[in-house]
């Protein structure tokens, strides 16, 4: 029982906790240094993609820009792999960096080598994906569903693993009951998760789609949706004119990706029409925030 409890605790913190666990690290064992967290340099041709990665689509332009950054700065944050056999490895995390490194023509990449069976691989990939990636609510819901079904977890166990409330998990899973057009609207950020949660309660599939189309066309709020469901009249609104957001330059994008690799988290640059803006460093928990703070304090 103690072993299972320890495993749940580590997975709940994501891969960062597992990287500090000597029981899952064979890099130090193979090197003989006895230092957990040692990094190996592996031939890129000896590494295969992670079949359990929840992310299957990688934007071509973003990969090319990251590839340019890697060509200039190299890979700052090592990949994490598991050893399959002699000179054969499989990715646990870092597939975007791995693909970009291939585009950049790298022959070798830095990597941590871990021990993980297929069950652990799936859990680690899904948990890391949920905590570290900027996922839309539908992608989060699909990851929750896979953890529940393929890893045979209860919602309470999942709640402990990812440090999210059970109600948050339930609310995300309900989104998967929406018709495909509505789910697509959530993915494209045409409607918020609040809108989607309200539409779930609207009735049959045709009613849900009709209400979704009204939300987009009439710029309805969540309260408007709830009023419509109650049978109350809602005044038609004029669509809010969209103000074009300033796009970041190529140099700014390369900097953003480079900083994200250094901190092992997602970094965003938000710019306003007047030239002001902010750099946003994302973190998934207090532990993750402390890790980032320690990295920045070393600079």
Residues labelled catalytic: 95
- Cα-Cα end-to-end distance for the chain: 41
**Cross-strand partners of 43:** 108
In whole angstroms, give the CA distance from residue 139 to residue 228.
Answer: 28
């Amino acid at each position: 029982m103690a072993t299972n409890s320890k495993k749940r605790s580590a997975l709940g913190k994501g891969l960062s906790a597992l990287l500090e666990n000597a029981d899952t690290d064979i890099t130090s064992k193979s090197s003989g240094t006895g230092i957990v967290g040692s990094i190996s340099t592996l031939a890129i041709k000896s590494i295969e993609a992670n079949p359990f990665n929840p992310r299957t689509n990688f934007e071509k332009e973003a990969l090319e820009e990251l590839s340019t950054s890697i060509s200039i700065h190299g890979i700052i944050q090592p990949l994490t792999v598991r050893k399959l056999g002699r000179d054969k490895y499989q990715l646990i995390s870092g597939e975007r960096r791995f693909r970009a490194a291939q585009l950049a023509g790298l022959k070798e990449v830095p990597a941590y080598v871990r021990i993980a069976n297929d069950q652990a691989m799936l859990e680690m990939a899904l948990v890391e994906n949920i905590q570290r990636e900027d996922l839309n609510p539908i992608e989060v819901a699909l990851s929750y569903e896979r953890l529940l079904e393929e890893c045979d977890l209860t919602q309470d166990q999942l709640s402990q693993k990812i440090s999210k409330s059970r109600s948050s998990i339930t609310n995300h899973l309900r989104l998967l009951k929406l018709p495909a057009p509505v789910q697509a609207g959530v993915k494209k950020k045409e409607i918020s998760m609040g809108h989607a949660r309200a539409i779930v309660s609207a009735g049959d599939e045709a009613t849900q789609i009709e209400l979704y189309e009204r939300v987009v066309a009439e710029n309805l709020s969540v309260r408007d949706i709830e009023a419509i469901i109650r049978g109350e009249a809602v005044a038609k609104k004029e669509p809010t004119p969209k103000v074009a957001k300033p796009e970041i330059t190529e140099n700014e994008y390369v900097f953003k990706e480079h900083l994200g690799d250094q901190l092992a988290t997602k970094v965003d640059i938000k710019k306003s029409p007047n030239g002001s803006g902010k750099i946003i460093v994302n973190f998934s928990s207090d532990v993750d925030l402390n890790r980032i703070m320690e990295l920045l304090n070393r600079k």
